[in-house]
Amino acid sequence: MDLKDKTILITGGTGSFGKACVKALLEHHEPAVVRVFSRDELKQSEMAVPYKDEDRIRFFIGDVRDRDRLVRATRGVDLIIHAAALKQVPACEYNPFEAVQTNGMGAENIVTAAIENDVPRVIQLSTDKAVNPVNLYGATKLCAEKIITQANTYAADSDARFANVRYGNVVGSRGSVLPLFLRQAQTGTLTITDERMTRFWITLPEAVEFVLESLHIMEGGEVFVPKIPSMRVRDVADAIAPDAEHRIIGIRPGEKLHEVLLTEDESRHAQDLEDRYAILPEFPTWRTAAYRHGPGLQDGFRYSSDTNERWLTADGLRALLPSLEPVA
């Protein structure tokens, strides 16, 4: 999908991904308008400051729980990037129905607004925690994936198409372990849940590029998974503060030792696209022809952070973040 002269709406547009995506779109893709849709007027006013001379950006106050507001905000839109979510695991556990309303019902409202306004493309951001979920955040994002995928059925008689992207931890985003370690480094002691723990890692620019590239190849119903490196949590700690003491506090409720981006069951209906995997829909009732993306995967294939072929070391993380200085 060529984004030049297109009108793009980003839900959760004042978040880490949203801000990076707006910047990339305006600098490299020549859109007609980028609409930032979010709940917090303060964050919008702060985000607007560097764009005071930019006439291609609009700020919409609204909540993805509010279907009518979404319908209004998506009029005339060519693309929706759905990044809004409640994603803090403890907050979702303590406030379960709030997570259901934002992450689950919010996705359904996106579908309704997109179909009502004939939005050609919708892509939703998901997470590795949606795979075999052990916490409510992951469970609601799994529901959101299913809602977005099956939306193609309801839009079968239109040009609207829906897809998901699913990736791991974003380096330096709000809520990631990186800012926590940076704060703790000042004390000389870092808290580590379990030194065996591994996670998938992707930088913000890589995440934005992955989403925008997936738009060009989506046909509707896919879950796109990037091929990204894993990293051990102890190596993250060593990258931030190599001389700091490690205090083991144990895995927290709702956490896994390792994360999975693609299961053995999903691999049976997935394809290898060289730099990413495409998990194809199991019930593509809206299609009359077969998907033609790439070769299938080996039987029993599982894409897990502990058995990944690519690994990021402490030195590798520092190379990704040249402005990040180790704290002694």
Which regions of the chain are under pLDDT 50?
Answer: 324-328
Sign of CA dihedral 99, 43, 21, 254: negative
Q: What positions carry a catalytic annotation?
A: 129
Question: What is the predicted pLDDT for the residue at 324?
Answer: 46
Whether the model pTM is above 0.75:
yes
Residue ranges covered by each domain of the chain: 7-168+203-227+260-297
**88 Cβ contact list (under 8 Å, min separation 6):** 137, 175
Summarised one tens digit per residue, pLDDT across range 114-171 is 999 999 999 999 999 999 999 999 999 999 999 999 999 999 888 899 999 999 999 8
What contacts 217, CB < 8 A, 6 or more positions away? 273, 278, 293
What is the pLDDT at residue 176? 74
Report, at the CATH architecture level, how domain 7-168+203-227+260-297 is classified: 3-Layer(aba) Sandwich (3.40)
What's the token pair of residue 115? 């179909």
CB burial class (10 A; 0-12, 13-18, 19+) of residue 245?
A: exposed
Instruction: Count how many residues are written for the chain.
Output: 328
